[in-house]
Structure 1
């Protein structure tokens, strides 16, 4: 078993010397430049879930602070070749090659490309630091950081900080639970804070402030960065013990309020108060019969998240109010994400590849795009629908296209890109 530390020089690509422009089929760059300036999200009255004790504003040595976010789309093709599309100047850079991934996870800066032998980590070199009432934007040299070895396609869980805290990996074939040091990762090192043995099968390692929750079997335990198990407390201060029951844990996301872990009967919300881990149980509403949530998605960091309830329903989880709401979907959906903006927009993807704009209060359809990714969905490709405050982004591997969608303007296609390489996996980075 390899426990990587500092990557070798050979694992880092040379500084890109050539930048090329992708064909833009629906140009509206001036409008995009206007909306991408300034803060990326409304101010919240809640502290960021992973704000460090020593406030560095997300800065690392050698990084350039920017006046606006360097938003991009970082893609990996079926052969593992990585490229980054800058959405401001519409140029693209080749970043190198990783092993061909089975799945890819992102925290808005890093891409975690998992296959049966481990996780390859890509640093896009662009990120945003959420300081609650304002933001800081950075750009550094992109890099391939190396691999973390493990058995089975890992489940990855991240926080809202790409320079502090931890990143969790759970390898299902071996049952190994790994916490990576995200601060070390931001300086080019892969450092394992702990690697714990658990029962093989599904599991999660979820960063919670300076702690990490390990979900395996039907139990969630909380650990320090050194791997020591600690007791957790309930919201009223009572000790919940060193293990919290969570039947069939599946799905996780971190919001401004805390980290969510999906359970058969609802969700656990974990956060830190007075340097102690706190767990709250958010059960599904009484008398509501619908499939459970197994995957959560939202605009990064926002308190409200969305999840599918089968194909005909949408679960809305408000982590600030600690409530679930079940909405009837306007038509069958295969993917859903919450924008959590002033208009309560929710975005859904239909089986024929249309993007729906949905009212997050009542489930009504507000607008729909034309079919975009029907061929990719039919082929079983990894189609990703992601949203920020003004735009949504969608990849079509079979169509070999990337789309930028103005969901507030009747799901209008703002820009369409034709990349040279198949965008098999894509992540929005820089936010």
Structure 2
């Protein structure tokens, strides 16, 4: 189900490593007296027309999709900053520079400049902000799927072509960055991850099936592969390893070796995983009914990539693919359909906290439909509640919801920047 899962760092979001800032570009921020309505649909505005101002500190912003567009929220003030109308079902992914997001729109990815960023300057930092802008910068391809930032590159996977397009996220600006292409033998719903040594990890499959993982060196030569992974799906980066899920376990890519960890059940599907750079343990979902139209699992997996040990944790309620994540300290987070956010120690596999957040909810059968979604933004954990049109901020230190934001649209996908 989860076509795109970009994981962010604990500092900037969910599980995959990204930068937290980039060089300033000419741009501008709305004044405090201007209303959010005044900033709707800036998609035809020139980036250079936006005046940039220095902020007193980081300006974290959230973005959520809704039926009809995407909206940007000031995460501190709880106010709408901008809204951009869009047709059809859209998705949000990290662009990799800590400032911009990628909107999956039609046949490609479109850059959404969130308009806030912080950059280091000696022993201190400088923060800037401007108006958000849905830019004209696009990465075009048939059936855009997963977008993953890792190893200093952002890799876009086009399911309808079996093509990987990647760029250096530090080169993102008001102009489209130079991109590079990798063509795979067969088109399939897959994923690609670059590593710090310039090697590439990608899935193996075709339009009918997917069954494994391969590693290419920086010259493009395949140096390892493993095809013992039926239904390969998703990815996560943890300390020193990359994982992908299988219908009977998961694969771990470490160095030039790919190893298999088997599920305790003959059919034990791990389709979505969530990692943390501070932990060797990967959090995964877990389904055991191959024939279910929509299984509502109540267990998650914690797999230590250093030892290969897989543990099942009963979280007492079902959950969806959008209600899992990792905290800033590597905590495993699971939002249940009972409205409770459970915090799990990834090493002991013990539930350490249960935090009431939303009313009870039911996962819709159609995966594109809104449901409570979890997004980690630095130290904050955000949870959307579509039925109430709210975004809740959870403080893991106090183990309470510290504030809630009411929005004017029904939120679907949720993402953001640290600012």
Structure 1 length-normalised TM: 0.67
Alpha-carbon displacement from aligned partner over 1:286-308 (angstroms, at most 9, x marks no partner): 85666232111256765433111
Q: Is the 8 A contact 1:118 1:153 kept in 2?
A: yes
User: What's 1:356 paired with?
Assistant: 342
Alpha-carbon displacement from aligned partner over 1:125-156 (angstroms, at most 9, x marks no partner): 445789xxx99775465543422222224222
Aligned mates of 1:154, 1:399 — CA distance in 2 = 29
| Aligned partner of 2:326 among 327, 334, 338 | 338
1:252–1:302 CA distance, 2 compared to 1 (3 A): same
Q: Is the 8 A contact 1:208 1:258 kept in 2?
A: no
Aligned mates of 1:65, 1:345 — CA distance in 2 = 34
Alpha-carbon displacement from aligned partner over 1:219-255 (angstroms, at most 9, x marks no partner): 4344567xx52243xxxxxxx4xx4435232111223
1:378–1:288 CA distance, 2 compared to 1 (3 A): closer
Aligned mates of 1:392, 1:371 — CA distance in 2 = 13
Q: Is the 8 A contact 2:93 2:103 kept in 1?
A: yes
| Aligned partner of 2:149 among 144, 153, 158 | 158
Q: How many residues align?
A: 353
**Runs of 4+, deviation exceeding 6 Å:** 62-67, 134-137
Q: SS at the partner of 2:82?
A: strand
Q: Is the 8 A contact 1:307 1:314 kept in 2?
A: yes
Shift of 1:415: 0.6
Aligned pair 1:170/2:157, yes or no? yes
Alpha-carbon displacement from aligned partner over 1:31-85 (angstroms, at most 9, x marks no partner): xxxxxxxxxxxxxxxxxxxxxxxxxxxxxxx9999886543212233222331x2
1:131-210 equivalences in 2 (<5 Å):
139=128, 141=130, 142-145=132-135, 146-159=137-150, 165-186=152-173, 188-209=175-196, 210=198
| Aligned partner of 1:245 among 227, 230, 236 | 227
User: What's 1:58 paired with?
Assistant: none
1:99–1:306 CA distance, 2 compared to 1 (3 A): same
Shift of 1:103: 2.9
User: What's 1:347 paired with?
Assistant: 333
User: What's 1:121 paired with?
Assistant: 111
User: What's 2:415 paired with?
Assistant: 427
Q: Which runs of 5+ in 2 are unaligned?
A: 1-24, 37-50, 206-210, 288-296
1:301–1:359 CA distance, 2 compared to 1 (3 A): closer
Which has the higher mean CA deviation after the structures are superposed, 283-292 or 360-369? Answer: 283-292
Aligned mates of 1:370, 1:219 — CA distance in 2 = 38
1:315–1:149 CA distance, 2 compared to 1 (3 A): same
1:101–1:184 CA distance, 2 compared to 1 (3 A): farther
Aligned pair 1:77/2:66, yes or no? yes
Q: Is the 8 A contact 1:307 1:337 kept in 2?
A: no
User: What's 2:220 paired with?
Assistant: 229
Q: SS at the partner of 1:309?
A: coil
CA RMSD of aligned residues (A): 3.9
Aligned pair 1:220/2:213, yes or no? yes
Q: SS at the partner of 2:245?
A: strand
1:266–1:123 CA distance, 2 compared to 1 (3 A): farther
Q: Is the 8 A contact 1:376 1:399 kept in 2?
A: no
Aligned mates of 2:54, 2:245 — CA distance in 1 = 36
Aligned mates of 1:286, 1:214 — CA distance in 2 = 22
Aligned mates of 1:329, 1:212 — CA distance in 2 = 35
Q: SS at the partner of 2:170?
A: helix
User: What's 2:301 paired with?
Assistant: 315
Aligned mates of 2:245, 2:342 — CA distance in 1 = 25
Shift of 1:266: 4.1
Q: Is the 8 A contact 2:61 2:418 kept in 1?
A: yes
1:408–1:172 CA distance, 2 compared to 1 (3 A): same
Q: Is the 8 A contact 2:118 2:126 kept in 1?
A: yes
Aligned mates of 1:287, 1:425 — CA distance in 2 = 32
| Aligned partner of 2:405 among 417, 426, 430 | 417
Q: Is the 8 A contact 1:282 1:323 kept in 2?
A: no
Shift of 1:205: 1.8
Alpha-carbon displacement from aligned partner over 1:189-217 (angstroms, at most 9, x marks no partner): 24321142542221112122233323131
Q: Which runs of 5+ in 1 are unaligned?
A: 1-11, 23-61, 233-239, 272-277
